[in-house]
Amino acid sequence: MVLPSLLNGMRTRTAEPSGWVLDPGTQFLQDGNVRFRVWAPFSPRAELVLQRDGEERIRMEKERFGYHSKTLSAKEGLRYVYSLGDGKMRPDPVSRCQPEGVHGPSELANPNSFRWSDSGWGGVPQKELLVYEVHVGTYTREGTFESLIPRLKYLVNELGVTAIELMPVAQFPGARNWGYDGVCMYAPQDSYGGAFGLKRLVDECHRNGLAVFLDVVYNHLGPEGNYLGDFGPYLSNKYKTPWGPAINYDDAGCDEVRRFVVNNALYWIVEHHVDGLRLDAIHGIFDSSARHILSELGEAVHRMESVLGRKLHAIAESDLNDPKVVLPRERGGYELDAQWSDDFHHSLHALLTGERFGYYQDFGKLGDVVAALRGGFVYDGKYSNFRGKTYGASSKGLPAERFVIFLQNHDQVGNKPDGKRLSALVSPSALKVAVALLLLSPYVPILFMGEEYAETAPFHYFISHTDPWLVEAVRRGRVEEFAAHRWEGAFDDPYAESTFESSKLNPQLREEEGHREVFHHYQEMIRLRKAHAALRSMNRDNMEVRMLEESRVLVVRRWEPGEEEVLMVFVLGGERVRIDLPLDHGWERIYSSGGEVSSDRGSPPRGSLDLPPYGIAVFLKEG
């Protein structure tokens, strides 16, 4: 988004080709000087404290609306803090680099130092997205951005995904964290490799044809190292979130807070070349303004899309079951590109595992899976026992590409006491039928790292806070959360380094018996999705879903007019089944996990299909 206020004085700055510059923050000017600008309305005066040849204090010039600025000669690598009127020394709220962590000084980083090689990159269309979620710290032994690079060819050429989604990378306390405790929203985590490492990873992803999504947290800030409240009214006690004070989007001083957040979204896109943002837990974003912050952010991203000439995405993690999230702005919506459908996961998980803890109590019937396949939402205005109220609204008329679905993700695995993955909870056959439903559906699928070969390592919740009181508070919070959901069992200490280490992947499992078969199944489902027009299509109007409830069978028919038709049979129960199918001449079986088809004589012929427990059969008819 190019705003007039962001372009003031642009002739003297080194701007990105997009014309966008980060302001407030630090800008390297064409005359070799650097402009420092900070929003600190709580401070009547501010000083820039430079760490060169000792400590050098420089009084900043006060501007309107609580801004302070100073232009001077400075070089990349210089460390600095801001001294506020009460004598507090604080890192830059818009710091690009925190080499000593969240409590240390900021480091001056020139965004133009990195030489990109992705000028021809145009992004990945929404309908081609097949996303792979990664936690940087546990995906490899090294746990860095650059250590992911050797895995990219595997993800593209062997598995077949088209995008990776990084869990939050904004600077958090310590070296071990999921990332949702980030407090320096513009500084890529130093223990992961900082800005250079992230840029190199993104550049290599684009070289290999992979889009990059970044998980960003605009609903709260972490508790440790959160110094924004010393600068201005970034936070508000007007609303309550599960994580502490809400970000101030609609109270006094919110204009500059909103600018801070929208700038952050554009910063990752412009300076780090990311292709999309996954907006964390938007149900924790509270805004009663005439224009919601999500609408403003989405519009900014889409304007930048036209400026940069590459496809960008803004996707919401939402359990609101509210079509407003993706509806056009002229219809009162936020016009984001897609939102998560938790109901797809919940319905399949509850059916296959038998779990009824927490929100799973609302699910467990085959009809829930049918509803999720047909509509994206199961709770679309129905009464929810878990919530104790009528919940959700109809998604009728929304395109399928507006929904993101999954079998597993960091939340669904890591927010349970044992951190077990789906492959540890169900049989290999049950896992395979779930995978087929995920990847042969018309929605945007997300895979969680390691699930493609049935990784055995759990994924636990872990932290490395430095405040002992806070560590103990996290431990207590986990106990209370598990009790509230009636999840039983012991859990590993989130602060222990062993909890983090046990969550690291073991990619060599992919070659071992059992794991190899699961991996080949993922490969084949992805191949089928890409190879057939009826399965690539995201037109829900060209899909029929029927169920045989007694035998726990789903029959899904998808077609692309004039090209092909696909008929799929899924057994979601533990009994062998035999059903009759209307298979006339021209049908070919293109996949089966077992079972036989025999054609009866007559006109037209019919197919009698025999399938084992959790069996799958896929038939194709061309023309």
- Determine the longest span between alpha carbons in the chain, in angstroms: 94
Amino acid at 151: R
Q: Which residues contact 195 (CB under 8 A, 6 or more apart)?
A: 96, 97, 109, 111, 114, 187, 188, 272
> What single string gives the DSSP state of each residue in 29-97?
BTTSEEEEEEE-TT-S--EEEEESSSEEEEEPEE-GGGEEEEEEE--TT-EEEEE-TTS-EE--TT-S-
Q: Which residues contact 488 (CB under 8 A, 6 or more apart)?
A: 417, 482
The residue written with tokens 């431990």 in the block is: 475
Alpha helices in 102-242 (DSSP H): 136-139, 145-148, 152-153, 194-207, 228-231
Catalytic residue among 317, 322, 362, 492: 317
* CB < 8 Å & 24+ apart, contacts of 12-15: 14/112
Which of 224, 280, 335, 565 is an active site residue? Answer: 280
Rounded distance between C-alpha atoms, residue 399 and residue 255, angstroms: 33
- Long-range contact list for 251-254, CB < 8 A, 24+ apart? 253/41, 253/66, 254/289
HEC readout, 434-502: HHHHHHCCCCEEEEECCHHHCCCCCCCCCCCCCCHHHHHHHHHHHHHHHHHCCCCCCCCCCCCHHHHHC
- 210 contacts 151 by C-beta, under 8 angstroms: no
Q: Is 524 noted as a catalytic residue in this protein?
A: no
DSSP string, 227-252: -HHHHS--EEEEEEETTEEEE-SSST
Residue 165, token pair as written in the block: 């989604």
Tallying the residues shown for the chain, one arrives at 623
C-alpha dist (Å) from residue 260 to 119, 293, 611? 27, 11, 56
Number of H helices, E strands in the chain: 15, 31
Judge contact between 426 and 399, C-beta under 8 A: no
Alpha helices per DSSP H over 136-193: 136-139, 145-148, 152-153
Contact in structure between 389 and 146 (CB atoms under 8 Å): no
Is 517 part of the annotated catalytic residue set?
Answer: no
Rounded alpha-carbon distances, angstroms, from residue 294 to 168, 206, 468, 599, 607: 18, 27, 36, 55, 51
> Which of these, 238, 239, 170, lies nearest to 198 by C-alpha position?
170
DSSP-derived pairing of the beta strands 106-107 and 131-134: unpaired
> How far is residue 431's CA from residue 421's CA, in Å, rounded to a whole number?
11
Catalytically annotated residues = 280, 317
